[in-house]
Amino acid sequence: MAAPSGRRTRSRGRSARAIASLLTVLTATLATGALAPTTAHAAVAEPPRPAFYETPGSLPSANGALIRSEAMTFLLDPLDVTSLVRNAKRVLYKSTNRAGRAIAVSGTVLVPNAPWIGVGSRPVIGYAPGTQGMADRCAPSRQFSEGIEYEGIGIEGLLLRGYAVAMPDYEGLGTIGVHTYMDRVSQGRATLDVVRAAQRLSGTGLSSTSPVGLMGYSQGGGAAASAVELASTYAPELRLKGAVVGAVPADLTKVATHLDGGLYSSFAFFALRGLAASHDVDLSPYLNATGRATSDRVETECVFDLLNNAFVKSSTLSYNGQPMSALMAAEPFRSIVAAQRIGTIRPSVPVLVTHSALDDVIPYTVGKQMARSWCGKGANVFFSTNIAPLHVGGILPQTAEALPFFEARFLGLPQLSNCWLI
């Protein structure tokens, strides 16, 4: 029933005043930074990516479904001293990101020359790479062909043993969009889905019956740890036998505070940029002019460029002079960072957790607390402490321990947990 004319006029007047008041409040709130913007900052323009990495107009329905593949040159080192694979493929496959959106992710599938001499079919290791950077050119599936992918150190022993390796590039790394660095769900799903893609790739000898292991260090440790948490619900059909995770950045609040102003400040800036993109938050109001320029620049950098931001304190980049730790303590970042916590879901398979007590990037206490949290939930965990020099050195003992761990798991032998010691 229509309102009388006078009532409509008074109603419109009240509505106009209410909207004006609301706009005033919102403007004031945004000016103080108390309310988060809801539109993510657009990705920085990059050089054109190879056509292989472009997302098609429509995607398959199944996670892990192959979109395309191509033969690639795999160089373990610039001189290609050894050739460990007979089948090296670059793949583009379908995954689902944190927000539930279908995305295309690129990756690499490697099948070794060495025959599989173990029981059953050849296992495949879902190997999550450590920090590569933010730019498309940093994607491992591109760097392997240039002989500059440092993860070759970690996978060499796996290939020599006869395992296949499936490695994701992660969301937005190589493909369209911002790389959602440190997004727990997106990274974990991309890792599980590249294993699915490898099992569907023809000419590899892999299939849905292939035993599966997960492995990663640093960012890759976080991705593999997330994958082992998500596997039972996201990819229950995989014959997952165990996971090896090292130097896991399980608590980003502690990690970012530790990194601030140090040699590896870029890692914290990568995380801020990546998580803001993943959760559609515009960082601009939270940064000063230098901060906005830095945020844009890190999106074009690889890990080899980390010295560009070495020893830069986040307080010099924020709009109010406060450090990143203060930003993470307020919404919306507090909830975003809390959602990345690893150790809250019980892995259903044995996990080997390694961490150097001398790690200068990911605090040793962070990895130990994650392992303790898993133990508290009844998981089968073995926590291995080493004293390798610094963060970079920790990957060597992890690689050495991974081989006997996977041998035992693929033979069906149980892992003896040391939760009672953690």
> Is residue 136 located within the same domain as residue 265?
no
Is residue 8 assigned to a domain? Answer: no
Average of per-residue pLDDT across 254-274: 96
User: Residue 37: what pLDDT?
Assistant: 31
> Is residue 189 located within the same domain as residue 93?
yes
> Is residue 210 located within the same domain as residue 227?
yes
pLDDT-derived band at 147 (thresholds 50, 70, 90) equals: confident
b (16+ CB within 10 A) / e for 366-397: bbbbbbbbbbeeebbbbbbebebeebbebbeb
Q: From the centroid of its chain, how far is CA 288?
A: 27
Long-range contact pairs involving 117-120 (C-beta distance under 8 Å, separation at least 24): 117/162, 118/162, 118/410, 118/411, 119/410, 119/411, 120/209, 120/211, 120/410
User: Residue 148: what pLDDT?
Assistant: 85
Strand partners, 211: 239
Average of per-residue pLDDT across 340-349: 98
Does position 235 have pLDDT exceeding 90, yes or no? yes
The pLDDT tens digits for 34-52 are 323 333 445 777 788 999 9
Q: What is the DSSP string of 108-119?
A: EEEEESSPP-SS
Is residue 37 assigned to a domain? Answer: no
**49: exposed, middle or buried (C-beta count within 10 Å: 0-12, 13-18, 19+)?**
middle
User: Residue 316: what pLDDT?
Assistant: 97
- Sheet architecture: strand order including 211-217: 66-71, 85-96, 102-112, 164-168, 124-128, 211-217, 239-246, 351-356, 381-386
User: Residue 117: what pLDDT?
Assistant: 87
Would you call 81 helix, strand, or coil by DSSP? Answer: coil
Is residue 414 assigned to a domain? Answer: yes
User: Residue 252: what pLDDT?
Assistant: 97
Is residue 179 assigned to a domain? Answer: yes
> Is residue 135 located within the same domain as residue 279?
no
- Length of the chain equals 422
Average of per-residue pLDDT across 189-194: 98
Q: Which domain holds residue 291?
A: 252-337
Is residue 17 assigned to a domain? Answer: no
Does position 409 have pLDDT exceeding 80, yes or no? yes
> Is residue 276 located within the same domain as residue 365?
no
Does position 12 have pLDDT exceeding 70, yes or no? no
Does position 127 have pLDDT exceeding 80, yes or no? yes
> Is residue 233 located within the same domain as residue 273?
no
User: Residue 76: what pLDDT?
Assistant: 72
> Is residue 201 located within the same domain as residue 268?
no
> Is residue 268 located within the same domain as residue 183?
no
User: Residue 115: what pLDDT?
Assistant: 82
Domain-terminating residue out of 318, 337, 356: 337
CATH code, 232: 3.40.50.1820
Is residue 42 assigned to a domain? Answer: no
The pLDDT tens digits for 284-293 are 999 999 999 9
User: Residue 346: what pLDDT?
Assistant: 98
Is residue 116 assigned to a domain? Answer: yes
> Is residue 264 located within the same domain as residue 226?
no
Domain-terminating residue out of 337, 366, 383: 337
CATH code, 327: 1.10.260.130
Is residue 167 assigned to a domain? Answer: yes
Q: How far apart are the first and last CA of the chain?
A: 71
> Is residue 61 located within the same domain as residue 156?
yes
Question: What is the number of domains present in the chain?
Answer: 2
User: Residue 80: what pLDDT?
Assistant: 63
Domain-terminating residue out of 337, 367, 388: 337
Least confident of 25-34, 162-171, 285-294: 25-34
Q: Are 40 and 282 in contact (CB under 8 A)?
A: yes
Report CA-CA distances (Å) from 128 to 230, 285, 418: 14, 33, 25
Quote the mean pLDDT of the chain: 89
> Is residue 179 located within the same domain as residue 288?
no
Distance CA 392, CA 372 (A): 24
Average of per-residue pLDDT across 341-351: 98
Neighbours of 133 (CB within 10 A): 23
> Is residue 374 located within the same domain as residue 389?
yes
pLDDT-derived band at 247 (thresholds 50, 70, 90) equals: very high
Average of per-residue pLDDT across 361-386: 98
b (16+ CB within 10 A) / e for 242-279: bbbbbbbbbbbbbbbbbbbbbbbbbbbbbbbbbbbbbb
